[in-house]
Structure 1
Amino acid sequence: MKKTKFIIVMIVILITASCEKLIEVDIPDNQIDREAVFKDVQTANSALAALYADVMKNSPIAGANLETNLSAYTDELDNYTTAASDTRDIFLNQQIDTNSIVYSLWANSYKHIYTANSILEGIEGSTAIKATDKKYLRGEALLIRTIMLFYLNQLYGDIPYPESTNYNINNTINKTASTEVLTKMESDLFEVSLLLQNDYRNAERIYPNRMVARLLLAKVYMAKQEWDKAESALKEITQSPLYQMTNDINKVFQKTEKHILWQLKPHNNQSLPQASIYYFVNAAPSTYALTATLINSFSVGDLRKQHWIAAVNFNGNTYYRAEKYKNRDFNNTMEYSIVFRLEEAYLLLAETLVQQNKFNEALPYLNATRQRAQIPTLAMPISKDLLMDEILLENKREFFTEMGHRFLDLKRTGKLNTLPNTKPSWKDYHKLWPIPQKEILLNANLKPQNTGY
């Protein structure tokens, strides 16, 4: 136990030291003994566990982090703060390259990429870890790296794609074109699909399996408009006996349900930030509340509106808060932070099928969440454009304030420029964020800055 704790401390030192600079993150050999960290599977697992813990704490997929800002950036959340702040600038679509949120998302993501690369190198160089253990260790570390790169690509476009911890390379690394980033992610995820098993190595699904890689690979295929490949990857998930839609709307965000592909476990049964950041009662909101546009997208009988949204009446006004995660008493035994769930695979599959004019086949996947919400299902005849609009709308109702879904869905479907209807400051170049000024000053090869900034 003492040895394991020491290794975890060393990994934390590695993580902390790596966040000072985008890619100036190589750790001198005298700060961490890689041979000690990867001398056996126990210590290697400790290194991987430290990466998961930091991902849960502060990363694009950490609860109420990127998802809060992207929900406000699009049309899901109104920001009620009055003082000027970087958070409010995101809401107003007025972010610039010195915005702290723009910087922290970039820096934290590359911190996790660096740590994943360090683990990958340590596993590769280890002679003591069995080949069977190396497979899942490499697969999970490579998957974490690819997830971070996916969100960076979606937000910043052309980005560096570091594949080592070599200081001399990373200090002056160039950006990789967005199309090539997608191709490299495809290759990495194909490898992950070969390394990981379908079966989970933990019953709580707190470590990703092969199906998580297939879902992310489908998203990459869809970004490349390779609909048939996306369909194939998604059908592996929807046809797997591992997963089953949860019929009880009140159990969708409980950790034990079989629709969950992957979730992050909070430390010491802490309540999730998603349960508290949107919470207000007997008062007007001081930070966030759901937009009228979102609320009006639900029909009166939609169970999601009844159970995932709470109305707050104050001074003759009605505000609405997100209420998906409900445990706020810091004795949380039932809610983990869900990263991916089966409903996403269903709606993505419906989209890929519609793009291939397979309307009849797409409808059951679109109707699955509607049936659970007890709203009318759709039937043929229906046009392609209307079906695509309905899929986008169903994503909005199903995934509001989750994982930056709304931004990603609008971007993938080419609908970001519909946001000026509710976001008067929106401009076409807002589909990308600026590269942080700090990073360009440290590495001139990150120029040119994204258009508009």
Structure 2
Amino acid sequence: MKSSYNHLVITILLLIQLAFTSCEKLIAVDMPDNQIDKNQVFENLQTANAALAGLYSGLFDNSPISGGSGGTGAILGVYTDDMDYYAASNADYQIFLNQQIETNTTINTLWLNCYQHIYKANIIIEGIVNSRSLKESDKNSIKGEALLVRSVVYFYLQQLFGDIPYTTTTNYQFNQTISRTPATELLSKLQQDLTEAIALLSDNYRSAERIIPNRKVAELMLAKVYLLQHKWIEAELLLKTIVQSPMYQFQNDITQVFKKSGKHIIWQLKPLANGAATKEVQQYYHNNAAPTGYALSENLVNAFSDDDLRKKNWMLIATFNQQTWHLPWKYQVRLDNTSEYSIVFRLEEVYLLLAEAYAQQNLPDKITEALTYVNAIKDRAGIPILNGQYSKEDLLSEIIVESRKEFFSEMGHRFLDLKRLNRLPILVTAKPNWKDYHIIWPLPQKELLLNSNLLPQNYGY
């Protein structure tokens, strides 16, 4: 049964791929005789869920939330001051030097992958809306998940590129000539989409392993959008619903944070093959050799005190020719992996975002409440907690420091946090090539050539 379902997932994924044979040209193609018509996919719950499974497998493999080389954990780690890069003269090395240009292949690939996921989500949403056979509850669940996934991808695109095209259609003629949506308007659209997703989804997970997002994931994403919109109270209310939910429990054992069974996990992605290692292990592990890719920066390593349990448990020391490097080592199972999935969201992020929402309101009782959540993470790490009086700005600085130490190598947290709090310029002390316009990346040159309505290029590029 499992084998036949996996075959079905592949069939549906190929179907969607055929509907979207080129991110660059959005060519319409005829359906081969041996394939299911895409309208039929969403008249049956099994095939509809297979389409969703294909969307999730793509997220694990090559999306902003992937733990691999195309994910933002690695790319934004070297773009900021969390990681160094040791493979010179390629696209990632340009990003490491903050010398990215509009022909950078890493940037182009990330853009294309994101819009491919968006297109797949739009196929699912259109199919569900037009379905005449599925139960209303099933339609709500599938549409809510697709809306949520699309919003996650749009969120990263907007943070990386600023004004971007926002499309909800699979009409290739429209998509070929679409213009960019201003960032503030796009955030409003994401607010609407996530609000709809929240209404459609349930708190109950469809998978006990939490590999399929639920309503709380949508609430967390909406809270992130609210923080970007400076809607502190709205963000606080949403984040508190997650913290107060009986489904989640803070993980007090530092060695268990990246085990798939934790009650602190809000959403995670399962490796595509049974027993396979996470993308993070494949990406970062090497032993008894000089790094040929990513390693943690000295700047980051020195930010930890020696008694910080995260430094002791989440970093691997590699030595070669009397030189030493620190590698991300949050995921540690290389073979026969049955205990680790790639975590997308965990409760610790909710704690720090809630602390931020409290701090931004700049009220004494809110500041006190914020300290509680920051201190829970510091206490688990075995380092001194915060005591005394803190101003809003001082507390936000503490939150930034704690978030960096908690989420290094995870989905670009350092970049997103600094950008949201208007503190990206501090990177210039560790990144000599950093410029103010690096707050966003250039749009890929190929896209500008294909669609002149995307012009002008972002400032500085």
What is the TM-score normalised by the length of structure 2?
0.95
Corresponding residue of 2:200 = 195
Distance 2:90 2:75 in 1: 13
Distance 1:322 1:5, change over 3 A: closer
Distance 1:104 1:157 in 2: 17
Q: Which consecutive residues of structure 1, in runs of 5 or more, have no partner in the other structure?
A: none
Corresponding residue of 1:185 = 190
Q: Given the alignment, which residue of 239, 245, 248 partners 2:244?
A: 239
- 1:26 is displaced (CA, Å) by 4.8
Distance 1:332 1:237 in 2: 29
Which letter does structure 1 place at the counterpart of 2:410? Answer: E
Q: Given the alignment, which residue of 288, 310, 324 partners 1:318?
A: 324
Which letter does structure 2 place at the counterpart of 1:442? Answer: L
- Structure 1 range deviating more: 334-343 or 31-40: 31-40
Corresponding residue of 2:91 = 86
Which letter does structure 1 place at the counterpart of 2:99? Answer: Q
Which letter does structure 2 place at the counterpart of 1:197? Answer: S
Structure 1 position 338 matched with structure 2 position 343: yes
Corresponding residue of 1:424 = 432
- 1:21 is displaced (CA, Å) by 2.7
Contact 2:279 2:342 in 1 (8 A): no
- Structure 1 range deviating more: 4-13 or 211-220: 4-13
Corresponding residue of 2:442 = 434
**Residues 9-29 of structure 1, C-alpha deviation per residue, up to 9 Å, x if partnerless?**
143242265252347255556
**Residues 261-296 of structure 1, C-alpha deviation per residue, up to 9 Å, x if partnerless?**
000011222111211322222232222211111111
Corresponding residue of 2:421 = 413
**Residues 385-429 of structure 1, C-alpha deviation per residue, up to 9 Å, x if partnerless?**
221111000000000000111110110011111111000011111
SS in 2 for 1:423: coil
Corresponding residue of 1:14 = 16
Contact 1:26 1:165 in 2 (8 A): no
Corresponding residue of 2:282 = 276
- Structure 1 range deviating more: 390-399 or 352-361: 352-361
Distance 1:212 1:134, change over 3 A: same
Which letter does structure 1 place at the counterpart of 2:209? Answer: E
User: What does 1:54-93 align with in structure 2 at a 5 Å threshold?
Assistant: 54-64=58-68, 65-82=71-88, 84-93=89-98
- 1:312 is displaced (CA, Å) by 2.6
Corresponding residue of 1:447 = 455
Which letter does structure 1 place at the counterpart of 2:218? Answer: A
Corresponding residue of 2:401 = 393
Distance 1:187 1:296, change over 3 A: same
Corresponding residue of 2:266 = 261
Corresponding residue of 1:381 = 389
Distance 1:177 1:27 in 2: 32
Contact 1:22 1:110 in 2 (8 A): no
Which letter does structure 1 place at the counterpart of 2:316? Answer: A
Distance 1:391 1:34, change over 3 A: same
- 1:32 is displaced (CA, Å) by 5.6
Q: Given the alignment, which residue of 45, 48, 51 partners 1:47?
A: 51
SS in 1 for 2:113: helix
Distance 2:174 2:225 in 1: 26
Corresponding residue of 2:368 = 360
Q: Given the alignment, which residue of 93, 103, 107 partners 2:108?
A: 103
Distance 1:33 1:7, change over 3 A: farther
SS in 1 for 2:284: coil
Distance 1:60 1:306 in 2: 28
Distance 1:239 1:318, change over 3 A: same
Structure 1 position 144 matched with structure 2 position 152: no
Distance 2:9 2:287 in 1: 44
Corresponding residue of 2:294 = 288
Distance 1:396 1:302 in 2: 13
Contact 1:56 1:265 in 2 (8 A): yes
Corresponding residue of 1:124 = 129
- 1:186 is displaced (CA, Å) by 0.2
Contact 1:17 1:27 in 2 (8 A): yes
Distance 2:64 2:145 in 1: 17
Structure 1 position 5 matched with structure 2 position 1: no
Distance 1:196 1:356 in 2: 30
Give the number of aligned pairs: 451
Corresponding residue of 1:36 = 40
Distance 2:284 2:8 in 1: 37
What is the TM-score normalised by the length of structure 1?
0.96
Corresponding residue of 1:219 = 224
Distance 1:192 1:23, change over 3 A: farther
**Residues 337-389 of structure 1, C-alpha deviation per residue, up to 9 Å, x if partnerless?**
10000000000000110011121111011111101101111022122222111
Which letter does structure 2 place at the counterpart of 1:231? Answer: E
Which letter does structure 1 place at the counterpart of 2:343? Answer: I
Aligned CA RMSD, in angstroms, stands at 1.6
Which letter does structure 2 place at the counterpart of 1:54? Answer: G
Contact 2:81 2:297 in 1 (8 A): yes
- 1:313 is displaced (CA, Å) by 3.2
Contact 2:42 2:134 in 1 (8 A): yes
- Structure 1 range deviating more: 263-272 or 394-403: 263-272
Contact 1:312 1:319 in 2 (8 A): yes
Corresponding residue of 1:209 = 214
Distance 1:394 1:280 in 2: 27
Distance 1:17 1:144 in 2: 19
Contact 1:60 1:109 in 2 (8 A): yes
Distance 1:380 1:27 in 2: 65
